[in-house]
Amino acid sequence: MSANTFALVVESSAKHPRPDQQFTYGTAGFRMKADLLDSVIFRVGLLAVLRSKSHRGKTVGVMITASHNPEHDNGVKLVEPLGEMLAQAWETYAMDLANAATPDALVAALNKIIAAENIDLAQHAAVVVARDTRPSGPALVASLVDGVKALAGVITDFGVMTTPQLHYVTRCINTKGTPDAYGEPTAAGYYKKLADAYLKIAKGRKPLSALHVDAANGVGAPALRELAATIGDQHLGVVIANDDIATRGKLNHNCGADFVKISQKAPEGIDLKPGQRWCSLDGDADRIVFYYADASGKFKLLDGDKIATLAAGYIMSLIREAKATHADGTPLKVGLVQTAYANGSSTAYVRDTLKVPVVFTPTGVKHLHHEAEHFDVGVYFEANGHGTVLFSKAAVKAFEATAGKSESERAALEALRTLSDLINQTVGDALSDMLMVEVVLLGTQQTLEAWDAGYTDLPSRQEKVKVQNRALFVPIKADTELAEPAGLQDKINEQVAKFRKGRCFVRPSGTEDIVRVYAEAETVQETEDLAYTVCGIVFDGYGGVGERPAKFKRVAA
């Protein structure tokens, strides 16, 4: 393609100069300090147009969010036409565009993608965008619009939405008028779909006590308010805390799902009383964790692993009750997908008690989602509360085709059909997951304590170590080991061997400029010893920067 074809790209890109910085498409897209992102997002606009053209004009989604990260960060991720995360081959293209150092290099990178993907530039292209509540969002949407227009794409701005809502509308737009129509491509359509499904199950059941929701001072607050209003308070009582999206600096600050999971305590400023039911969303409402205080006031966490086991156990019991099978009588394949962060007790419970196969993938819902698609019912959750349950077309067909011989069989089939509408099929969704948990607890009239009693978590600890260059840490074996830096894995193994039920791994974060250290052991003390020893090894020997945290242990030479 001649440079003339890209005259507008070159002209517009001059308004979005690239800082001297290397950009990586990480666990959840590009993510960093918001003031570094202008050029990246302009170029993501170019890429989104090419992705849409490569899908013969289907609409592609772009979400501007840094999710659980601090308010001054922002980020961007691309969404495929059916709502999945961007295909991995295109992540490389995204990086090629973001890192092109000159206008000529940018045009060359565009031409490379066009040739490799055999793209017809005359093809129509459509892009939808939404953003979370970060103050940097509107300017970054403007950068994206410039990029999309520079390649003559059409863009629709959905304003402030949760990340899962953007995934939902993208799928709705692309399936509208087809047998796979997913719903109305609007926020109102999203609330109605979830509310209708929830009410089918909840109506006529004894309501549970109010659910207190920490909305991380993010977009989940207004979204939940809309959803709860659509459902009606006689069927779902919610009390929303941390719903201040107007005051700067509050988003995710000492609150939200990530804070609660990592610090293993309630958000600051809330009064957690025994008998109350609580959950926390993250900044873009794609993660959720639950918690309560036991009779002695002790904080108890129900994380993504607990949500996965609750969902898998419930759906398995419905399938058994409904006697749902494939048309040829073969059983539906139920499976659970976890990452290295899954608590060892949860994996044992799923395998030994629920008798459900478990598969492991590297961190990042994009990996878990694809693995879950191999099952008829694929339950996937990261321990951090990010996940969903996928129903294959064959499973949905089985629920629809099975008549049900008894009242209880028919009720179980109806519940399964309804769950496949209630549970977001595109991506992990805190609001949809919240309703899924409520439905299970309603069905069994379980308290959070009773849910928690299924298995006892091994003590675990997750820490961050700031290093000079996290790219030097190369994870393998679904993040459970490091291939590089040479020798570090042996040092970790040596420490792990000293602890009962010890397990520990180190991996570079794909969303923050740090490496993460995860440890598990028989007791809290042993877990802390293992975690802080490995943190010390990484900090002292592998480029730790800044002040050395006092809790990091030193290993005698």
Binding site for ligand G16 (CB under 6 A): 27-28, 67-68, 282, 286-287, 363-365, 382, 384, 386, 509-512, 516
Catalytic residue among 39, 67, 136, 346: 67
Burial class (CB in 10 A: 0-12, 13-18, 19+), 212: buried
DSSP bridge pairs for 102: none
Beta bridge pairs of residue 214: 241, 280
Q: Is 405 exposed, middle or buried (0-12, 13-18, 19+ CB in 10 A)?
A: exposed
Q: DSSP alpha helices (H): ranges in 128-186?
A: 137-150, 163-175
Asked if residue 385 lies in contact with residue 288, where contact means CB atoms within 8 angstroms, the answer is yes
Least spacing, CB of residue 87 vs ligand G16, in Å: 16
CB 123 within 8 A of CB 117: no
67 is annotated as an active-site residue: yes
| 21: three-class secondary structure by DSSP | coil
What is the C-alpha separation between 462 and 532, in angstroms, rounded? Answer: 10
For residues 36 and 538, what is the distance between their CA atoms, to the nearest angstrom? 28
Q: Tokens for 46? A: 């170019």
Q: Report the candidate in 312, 321, 294 with the shortest Cα–Cα distance to residue 453.
A: 294
263: which strand partners? none
In our burial notation (b when 16+ CB lie closer than 10 A, e otherwise), range 42-81 reads: bbbbbbbbbbbbbbebbbbbbbbbbbbbbbbbbbbbbbbb
Q: Closer CB to ligand G16, residue 214 or residue 421?
A: 214
Compute the distance between CA of residue 270 and CA of residue 157 in angstroms, rounded to an integer: 35
Smallest separation, CB 30 to ligand G16 (Å): 12
Question: 139 burial class (0-12, 13-18, 19+ CB within 10 angstroms)?
Answer: middle
Look at residues 20, 234, 3, 249 and name the one whose alpha carbon lies nearest to residue 106.
Answer: 3
Please report how close the Cβ of residue 367 comes to ligand G16 at its closest, in angstroms: 8
d(CA 489, CA 219): 40
**Number of alpha carbons in the 13 Å side-chain half-sphere of residue 479:** 22
Is the CB of 515 or the CB of 530 nearer to ligand G16? 515
Could you tell me where the DSSP H helices lie in 203-287?
A: 220-231, 256-263
CB of 211 to ligand G16, least distance (A): 21
Asked if 168 contacts 53 with a C-beta cutoff of 8 angstroms, the reply is no
Grouping H, G, I as helix, E, B as strand and the rest as coil, residue 333 is coil
Beta sheet of 334-338, edge-to-edge order: 358-360, 334-338, 377-381, 387-391
CB-neighbour burial class of residue 277 (10 A; exposed 0-12, middle 13-18, buried 19+):
buried
Distances (CA, A) of 388 to 4, 26, 144, 356, 447: 46, 21, 29, 16, 21
Rounded to whole angstroms, the Cα distance separating 281 from 215 reads: 5
For the annotated catalytic residues, the residue numbers are 67
